[in-house]
Amino acid sequence: MSDSKEALLDHVDPPPAYDPPKPRGAPLPRPPPLSLPVLNDLRTKRVVLASQSPRRRQIISYLGLPVEVIPSNAEEDLPKDLAPFEYVLGTATKKARAVYEQEITNEEKGEPALILAADTVVVNIVTGTILEKPTSEAHHFSMLRGLRDARKHKVYTALVAMAPLESARLPGYAMESHVEETDVTFDGDVSDEVIMAYVRTREGADKAGGYGLQGLGSILVAKVEGSYDNVIGMPLKATLKLIETVMAKADDDHELPDDDPLVDVEDEDEQ
Strand, coil or helix: what is 75?
coil
222 within a domain of the structure (yes/no) = yes
Minimal CA–CA distance to 140: which of 200, 221, 183? Answer: 200
Tell me how many domains the chain contains. 1
41 within a domain of the structure (yes/no) = yes
CATH number at residue 190: 3.90.950.10
Higher-scoring residue by pLDDT: 183, 167? 183
**pLDDT above 90 as % of the chain:** 71
At 177 the pLDDT is 98
Minimal CA–CA distance to 184: which of 209, 221, 217? Answer: 221
122 within a domain of the structure (yes/no) = yes
Residues in the chain: 271
3, 77, 81, 119: which is the annotated catalytic residue?
119
HSE, CB side, 13 Å, CA atoms: give it for residue 242.
25
At 32 the pLDDT is 82
Q: What is the pTM of this model?
A: 0.80
155 within a domain of the structure (yes/no) = yes
The pLDDT of residue 108 is above 60: yes
Q: Across the strands, what pairs with 180?
A: 157
* DSSP letter for each residue of 18-63: PPPPPPTTPPPPPPPPP--HHHHHHTTS-EEE----HHHHHHHHTT
231 within a domain of the structure (yes/no) = yes
Q: Are 104 and 97 spatial neighbours (Cβ–Cβ below 8 Å)?
A: no
Amino acid, single-letter form, for residue 221: V
155: which residues sit within 8 A by CB, 6+ positions away? 120, 121, 122, 123, 181, 182, 183, 184, 208, 209, 230, 231
Q: How confident is the model at residue 102 (pLDDT cuts 50, 70, 90)?
A: very high
Judge whether 119 counts as a catalytic residue: yes
265 within a domain of the structure (yes/no) = no
Minimal CA–CA distance to 147: which of 198, 89, 214, 87? Answer: 198
Lowest mean pLDDT among 2-11, 104-113, 241-250: 2-11
17 within a domain of the structure (yes/no) = no
Minimal CA–CA distance to 200: which of 134, 150, 148? Answer: 134
Amino acid, single-letter form, for residue 201: T
Range of the domain at 59: 35-252
The predicted-structure confidence for 7-47, as pLDDT tens digits, reads as follows: 444 544 555 443 555 555 666 677 788 999 999 999 999 99
259 within a domain of the structure (yes/no) = no
Neighbour count for residue 169 (Cβ, 10 Å): 15
Q: Where do runs of H (alpha helix) occur along the chain?
A: 3-10, 37-42, 54-61, 84-103, 137-150, 192-199, 228-232, 236-250, 261-270
Q: What is the DSSP letter of 226?
A: S
Rounded CA gap, 145 and 209, in Å? Answer: 11
